[in-house]
Amino acid sequence: MSGFHLYVLILIGAITLITILLVLRQKNHISSMSGMIVSMFLGMNVGLTAGITFGTAFQGDLFLSSVWGMGFGILAGCLCGACFGLLSAVEGIMSGLMGGMMGAMLGEMIAADQANLMIKFFLLLSFCTIFLAIILTTSNQATIDNMNWLLKPILTSLVVSCVLFLGNSLNMERVESKVAPQEYQSNTNNNGETKEDIKKIVIEMSDMKYLPKEVVVEKNIPVTIELKNTDLVEHDLEIRELSFKKIGESMHQHGGGENVLHLHADPQKASEMTLSINEGGTYEFYCTIPGHKENGMIGQLVVR
């Protein structure tokens, strides 16, 4: 979990706390309908924000991220709803549950950059709960009787902007640290051959892409395929219906039948396999992690 993710979680906790305090103070002015709206809005947005955050942080473990996402959503919705009564609490719980679950699935399936954009969006909506609570808890008789109101919105937007800007700069740090390993990557690409004169092909995986997208190998000639993962999430490479023979020991061969080539690499790790392919043709390879193929993690292996 990165600093940005932690910051987001602390922030939604604070938003929940502020909303509850506001609501408790103005409890008598709020109709049960307004109370329900506030708890639903808070539960859903906190759930979604937490869900996407955990979905991105615990990529590959949808169960864990769903449980955490739903936990955050339910807690926020329930606590806020409880201020107005049982019905609002139930409404808040259901919204939190739904938001957390959907968020976790979303975080699991989309790329890290896209997820961060979504987190920012739902974080902003969570922020809006505070203003929604203020609007709904202000009685109709309240009037603006002096010019102080001019200062308040400006001050508020300044505070909100500062908080969001700080979060965004934490997010930038994350992106920069992600770029760094790629530099060392290009140096290691130079080792074209191994000691046994077997040609080595390095396929780099970063930003939901294979690099290169197309790999050409020769039929019946041993070749080592190295999978280098410079991303912060795990990736793999799979080819179905490929007639090949493994040479020596491979480090990562799990799942799949005889004709399935499967190579897997954890974040910031590499794995390789030496093989010789018996049949010419063009084969599609792709990443089997949910959502990655749909995001464009597809390439081509040409055997000739």
Rule CB under 5 A: which residues touch Cu ion?
235, 287, 289, 292, 297
Type of residue at 104: A
Q: How far is the CB of 199 from Cu ion (least distance, A)?
A: 25
Q: How far is the CB of 287 from Cu ion (least distance, A)?
A: 3
Residue with Cβ nearer Cu ion (238 or 272): 238
Contact criterion met (CB below 8 Å) for 82 and 52: no
Neighbours of 275 (CB within 10 A): 20
With CB atoms as reference, the residue minimizing the distance to Cu ion is 287
Residue with Cβ nearer Cu ion (217 or 289): 289
* 237, 238, 242, 245: CA torsion to nearest 10: 60
Residue with Cβ nearer Cu ion (228 or 292): 292
Contact criterion met (CB below 8 Å) for 55 and 62: yes
What is the sign of the dihedral through the CA atoms of 209, 215, 220 and 226?
A: negative
Q: How far is the CB of 252 from Cu ion (least distance, A)?
A: 14
Q: How far is the CB of 94 from Cu ion (least distance, A)?
A: 33
Residue with Cβ nearer Cu ion (91 or 238): 238
Q: How far is the CB of 255 from Cu ion (least distance, A)?
A: 15
Residue with Cβ nearer Cu ion (22 or 227): 227
Residue with Cβ nearer Cu ion (120 or 292): 292
Q: How far is the CB of 127 from Cu ion (least distance, A)?
A: 32
DSSP 85: -
Buried b (16+ CB within 10 A) or exposed e, 64-88: ebbbbbbbbbbbbbbbbbbbbeeeb
Range 156-161 contact pairs with CB under 8 angstroms and sequence separation of 24 or more: 160/127
